Amino acid sequence: MTKSLRIGIAGLGTVGVGTLEVLSAHAEMFAKKVPRPLNVKAVAARDHARDRGVDLDGYEWFDNAVDMAFCDHLDIVVELIGGSDGIARELTEAALANGKHVVTANKALIATHGTSLANMAEEAGVNLAFEAAVAGGVPIIKALREGLIANRIDRVYGILNGTCNYILSDMEQSGRDFLDVLDEAQALGYAEADPSFDIDGIDAAHKLAILASVAFGTVVDFDGVHVEGIRHISPIDIEFARELGFGIKLLGVAARTADGFEQRVHPCMVPESAPINHVSGVFNGIAVDGNFVDTTIYEGRGAGAGPTASAVVADILDIACGNPVPVFGIPARNLKPAQTVDMGRHRGAYYVRLTVVDEPGVFAEIAAILRDHEVSMESVLQRGRAPGEPVSVVMTLHESLEVDVVNTLDAMASLDTVVEAPRMIRMETFA
């Protein structure tokens, strides 16, 4: 008789409960697909008395999830607690050290400690799987690590946070202010009570650091990710973007350059014709550029119990099949330094919005600053006139080094006729 794969699930929030539901609902189907029966033996959570809507009778209960790592009758630990350190890290390290496979949905843990955990897993001869850590139910890790293995990956980019995408999509459709839409997103459960992790780009940055490592075979370098959020995006920027033929999305972009690897998360102006611009609401969308496959695109629900649990269970099934895939696609000992390029060396086109006093000579001063910093203007837009009053002026800039653009905007901000800090949004040219 084939030995079952004995599973312990740590964390019984929405994803943990969802994982139990998927394993139960499709038990018969899984029995036909994998050589080892799946057997959930234990669960761990802080509150034993809480009603989670599923029957937990028959499972061994652990008040301290870390104790699972030392349990002789478990083969695999599913870590769904969250957080880069604390119990989640302690459990994962202890489980790997004791020869247990680990499946996790914890992007903060992998983004922060992924390289060291990969070394531990491979030294112990066990799997560390994290498909659910990036883009929920979208199988982007498997696509990069296995489906596109024949390619040199040159760029990975996309919408990695559903909360931000919902907010920006609604602002585009309704014309409402950021704070109004954020309040609605919180009421609908799309944003947390403290939304900073999402709207300030940290969540997307965790995911991008993981994608970059898998795509480029580099050590995970979360600290090297340039991060900006969406708090400063206003309806007027969205209106000007539309006039220019663009939409605004919070994107994560990881790309090879002549100088090294870019890793950046920030709002982007994306051409209306680009497929990624049409990913709306809470959905995630990721594009991958490979040298033989060209561009492939992946879209789906990036969060929620069902999609995330689907990815968790997919990893469990891979382990049940005995698939010995290196954690980041290549052996951890072969991961090379990230060589992350400083954002000042980024070269691209830019949208700049100035609020200036409408009086003669303003454009002459602005043009002189552009000339002095060797930055070239492509176009300029101004709506209406209000002599002596502040008006919005938008410029688009030809490809320039970011350090030159930043210095240019600093010089503009010092003008008496510029009444608020210039707003800059990078412009992308995805096909």
**DSSP states of 237-272:** HHHHHHHHTEEEEEEEEEEEETTEEEEEEEEEEEET
Residue 52: Cβ-neighbour burial (10 angstroms; 0-12, 13-18, 19+): middle
Q: What is the mean pLDDT of residues 342-349?
A: 94
Domains of the chain: 5-133 (3.40.50.720), 141-301 (3.30.360.10), 344-427 (3.30.70.260)
Angle subtended by helix axes 178-187 and 162-174, to nearest 10: 130
Residue 294 has pLDDT above 80, yes or no: yes
Mean pLDDT of the region 81-99: 96
Residue 325: how many CB atoms within 10 A of its CB? 15
Neighbours of 121 (CB within 10 A): 23
Q: Span 308-320, mean pLDDT?
A: 96
Question: Does residue 60 surpass a pLDDT of 70?
Answer: yes
pLDDT tens profile 360-410: 888 899 999 999 999 999 999 887 667 778 888 999 999 999 999 999 999
> What value does the mean pLDDT of the chain take?
93
Model confidence at 431: pLDDT above 70: no
Q: Which of 333, 314, 336, 332 is nearest to 323 (CA)?
A: 314
Mean pLDDT of 48-75: 88
Note the pLDDT of residue 39: 94
Least confident of 18-32, 48-62, 152-166, 402-416: 48-62
What's the chain's Rg over C-alpha atoms? 24
Mean pLDDT of 22-51: 89
pLDDT (0 to 100) of residue 324: 75
Write phi, then psi, for 137 (nearest 5 degrees): -80, 0
At residue 75, does pLDDT exceed 60?
Answer: yes
pLDDT digits (tens, 9 = 90+) for 114-155: 999 999 999 999 999 999 999 999 999 999 999 999 999 999
177-190 average pLDDT score: 92
Q: How far apart are CA 132 and CA 109, in angstroms?
A: 12
Which sequence positions are flagged as catalytic?
207
